[in-house]
Amino acid sequence: MSPGTLNWNYLLNIGLNPSLSSNVGLTITTSNSNSAVSVTRNLDINQDGLVDRADVNIIQAAFDCTIGQSCYDPRADVDADGRVDIVDAATVAFHWMEVDFIPNYGISTTPLSLILAPSASGTATVTVTSINGFAGTVSLDAVVYPSGITVALSPSSLSLSVNSSASSTLSVSTTGASPGFYSVNITGINGPLSHSTIITVGVADFNITANPTELFFPAGPIQSMITISSLGGFQGTITLSTTVSPSTGLTASPNPTNITLTPGGSGTSYLHVDPTSFGAWDVTITATSGNLSHSVVVSVARCRFGCV
């Protein structure tokens, strides 16, 4: 070996018998003058590939327990001194969020978000990638929160060979879903190795409101503010139009007639009405963008002796 140092980590599975089987970490440090081997129990106690809260929970469950007690958990006694104590907890904490060197896999989604129209469909790609020589089958599951959109994974399990990656298609349907945002949590499972990725799906639409919804002449109010709001990541230009019922005696027009929305944004227009006779009317303001259309009704009255 050439001069210098080498640090290498291994995982050993020592199967004394099934009940005593244990994964241990093996660190070999060599230089041109000496070498050392240190062995510890695996700090990734639950073997999911990451040293994190779930591992600390296992230590907490066996805390202060000594070998021979039923509560003693050898996995939690990472320094193997026969007692689960603060030293074990501190050792795990020192390696917090480190990635284990067991054969493992990663999971990711492209894109990370989908913005879809109501009653539409779209797809995303879920990719699992072999890490540290992993080979095996990863089953995939998708859970939607809150309920509304429909999702399916095809295929629903992926076979990985060493150093390979494989992909599944996530199909999303927004039929029947309310406008807004949804999370799709996609989990891959291979034995104790469970990993998740999240894709956000926006069902993009807009709503329209009027304030006030009743106008009176001559005592007022005599104009109404129309508000258009983006939902589920909607962006685009909305055109306002009006119909008046009955059709004579009142003109009504919004200003402006076009509103451009950014995702999560809102815009306003003002409905101006001009009665040329006494009477009562319903003004329907319709907001249209592509094949999306929503309406609100403002009632208008011009009364000879005051409206009651």
C-alpha distance from residue 7 to each of 16, 28, 29, 38, 170 (Å): 27, 6, 5, 11, 41
The Cβ of residue 257 has, within 10 Å, a number of other Cβ atoms equal to 12
State the number of binding residues for Ca ion (CB under 5 A).
10
Minimum CB–partner distance for residue 56 and Ca ion (Å): 9
Name the residue nearer to Ca ion (CB basis): 85 or 205. 85
- Give 79 or 141: the residue with its C-beta nearer to Ca ion: 79
Stretch that binds Ca ion, among 6-14, 77-85, 251-259, 292-300 (CB under 5 A): 77-85
Instruction: Output 64 or 81, the one with its CB closest to Ca ion.
Output: 81
Site string for Ca ion, 35-74 (x = CB under 5 A): ---------x-x-x-x----x-------------------
Taking CB under 5 A as the criterion, the residue among 25, 41, 77, 298 binding Ca ion is: 77
Question: Closest approach of Cβ 47 to Ca ion, in Å?
Answer: 7
Minimum Å gap between C-beta 143 and Ca ion is: 21
With beta carbons less than 8 A apart as the criterion, state whether 124 and 172 touch.
yes
Rounded-to-integer distance, Cα 180 and Cα 174, Å: 10
Interatomic CA distance for residues 258 and 287, integer angstroms: 9
50 versus 244: smaller Cβ distance to Ca ion: 50
Minimum CB separation of residue 129 from Ca ion in Å reads 19
Which residue number, 191 or 246, has a Cβ lying nearer to Ca ion?
Answer: 191
Q: 48 or 205, CB closer to Ca ion? A: 48
Nearest distance in Å: CB 170, Ca ion:
26
Q: 94 and 43 in contact (C-beta within 8 Å)?
A: no
DSSP for 114-170 reads EEE-TT-EEEEEEEEEEETT--EEEEEEEEEESS-SEEEEESSEEEE-TT-EEEEEE
For residues 249 and 276, is the Cβ–Cβ distance under 8 A? yes
In the complex, least distance from residue 14 CB atom to Ca ion, rounded to whole angstroms: 18
Should residue 81 be labelled a site residue for Ca ion when binding is judged by CB under 5 A?
yes
Q: To which residue do tokens 């508000």 refer?
A: 227
Instruction: Identify which of residues 46 and 150 has a Cβ nearer to Ca ion in the complex.
Output: 46
Q: Provide, rounded to whole angstroms, the least separation between the CB of residue 49 and Ca ion.
A: 7
Distance of CA 125 to the CA centre of its chain: 15
Residues 10/101, Cβ–Cβ less than 8 Å = yes
Instruction: Give, as ranges, the residues between 83 and 142 that touch Ca ion (CB under 5 A).
Output: 83, 88
Task: Report the side by side order of strands in the sheet with 266-275.
Answer: 205-211, 223-231, 266-275, 250-255
Give the whole-angstrom CA distance, residue 156 versus residue 195.
15
The nearer residue to Ca ion, 67 or 297, going by C-beta atoms, is: 67
- Per-residue tokens: 108: 């990711």
State the nearest-atom distance from the C-beta of 23 to Ca ion, in Å.
11
Binding site for Ca ion (CB under 5 A): 44, 46, 48, 50, 55, 77, 79, 81, 83, 88
